[in-house]
């Protein structure tokens, strides 16, 4: 079962904009309103393995940048590959 959180918003227009902003960060958000309340049900857009690989790639990119190493990170089926940019 996919975990979700509920985010209450004052009106649908804000919920719609927030839903789009959350999508840019890897979430899905469904807006529900019943006249008295307006809320988004938010979940991760991808599975746990994909989120883990993305987080690992970002951490490696940060580590490479801190050390100014001339390497890049690419996602692969098995996870990530660190290599020179021309390969």
How does pLDDT run across 28-79, given as a tens digit for each residue? 999 999 888 999 999 988 888 888 888 899 999 999 999 999 999 999 888 8
Mark whether 52 and 26 lie in a shared domain: no
Mark whether 9 and 30 lie in a shared domain: yes
pLDDT exceeds 70 at position 15: yes
CA-nearest of 42, 58, 38 to 50 is 58
Mark whether 55 and 38 lie in a shared domain: no
Q: Which pTM value belongs to this model?
A: 0.61
Mark whether 36 and 61 lie in a shared domain: no
The dihedral over CA atoms of 50, 67, 72, 59, expressed in degrees to the nearest 10, equals: 10
Confidence of residue 87 (pLDDT cuts 50, 70, 90): low
Tally of structural domains, the chain: 2
Domain span at 55: 48-83
Mark whether 18 and 34 lie in a shared domain: yes
Mark whether 78 and 53 lie in a shared domain: yes
Residue 54 has what pLDDT? Answer: 87
Mark whether 30 and 9 lie in a shared domain: yes
CA-nearest of 7, 17, 16 to 40 is 7
Structure tokens at 61: 């990119």
How many other CB atoms sit within 10 Å of the CB of residue 9? Answer: 19
Helix (H) or strand (E) run with residue 55 in it:
helix 48-66
Residue 1 has what pLDDT? Answer: 59
Mark whether 36 and 63 lie in a shared domain: no
């Amino acid at each position: 079962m996919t975990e979700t959180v509920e985010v209450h918003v004052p009106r649908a227009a804000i919920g719609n904009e927030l839903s789009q902003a959350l999508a840019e960060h890897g979430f899905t958000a469904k807006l529900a309103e019943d006249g008295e309340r307006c809320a988004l049900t938010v979940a991760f857009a991808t599975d746990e393995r994909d989120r883990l690989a993305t987080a690992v790639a970002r951490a490696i990119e940060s580590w490479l940048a801190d050390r100014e190493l001339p390497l890049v990170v690419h996602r692969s089926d098995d996870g990530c590959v660190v290599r020179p940019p021309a390969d």
